[in-house]
Structure formats: structure tokens, C-alpha cells
Amino acid sequence: MVSLQLYYYILILSLLYFGSTASLIGGIAYAPCNGSIAECEVEGEMLMESEISRRILAQGKYITPGALKPDQPVCRGNRGEAYSKAGDCLPEPSNPPDRGCQKYYRCRSNS
């Protein structure tokens, strides 16, 4: 009977000892962070694999001027006008239809 109690006593002490040391070694306390991603991940930022990964964590701390003027259209067109009619919104076509054809391409038309 005494040996059984001694066995349980040693078992409980060993569980308490090894449980506390395991939590000290592997357990990392995560405190809540209310800042930006970059501020909360200061230690983890240097463990990223590249400069691109670091830039993903960066945040801008400003508002664009266009966001402050919701009553104005995005482009220089009038209110209710399509973006394609305002010349500043759409980029130049990257593949214009009248680009011509060089001889070495052997096009059907001689343009």
C-alpha cells in the first residue's frame, strides 16, 4: 500500500516537473496586438524569406486625395459618362489593328 502511494506521489511530481519545463521550452505566450501587421510581427519579419515578403507586411499610413473627394468622378469625364469616353481613364491600346505587317512575317495582305 505504501509503495502504491509512493508511486502515485512520484508520478504526480514528475508530471508537474516535466509539464512545467515543457511549457517553458516550447510554449510561447502570444499577447494580443492591436497595431498594424508590421508592428505585431517585428520578430517574425526578419524570418521572412525575401524582401518581397517584408514589403507585403508594410502598410501605408495615409489616405489618397481621391478617397477624400467622393463627389467627383474618377476620371476627367462628366458625371454619368462612361470611362471610355474620358480619354484619361483607359490606356493606349497595346496591340493596335493598323500596326502593319513586316515582310518576314509573310502576312496575307501586303500592308
pTM: 0.21
Looking at residue 3, its pLDDT comes to: 80
- Average of pLDDT values for 73-90? 67
Count: domains in the chain: 1
Asked if the model's pLDDT at residue 79 lies above 60, the reply is: yes
Asked if the model's pLDDT at residue 55 lies above 60, the reply is: yes
Residue 54 lies in a domain: yes
Residue 48 lies in a domain: yes
Residue 73 lies in a domain: no
Residue 16 lies in a domain: no
> Higher-confidence residue: 81 or 73?
81
For residue 83, the tally of other CB atoms under 10 A from its CB is: 12
Residue 55 lies in a domain: yes
**Could you list the residue range(s) of the whole structural domain that residue 55 is in?**
30-59
Q: What is the per-residue pLDDT across 16-53, written as a single tens digit (0 to 9) for each?
A: 877 655 444 455 556 677 777 777 777 666 665 666 66
Residue 70 lies in a domain: no
Residue 44 lies in a domain: yes
Predicted confidence band of residue 91 (pLDDT cuts 50, 70, 90): low
Q: What is the per-residue pLDDT across 59-78, written as a single tens digit (0 to 9) for each?
A: 667 777 767 777 766 676 66
Residue 47 lies in a domain: yes
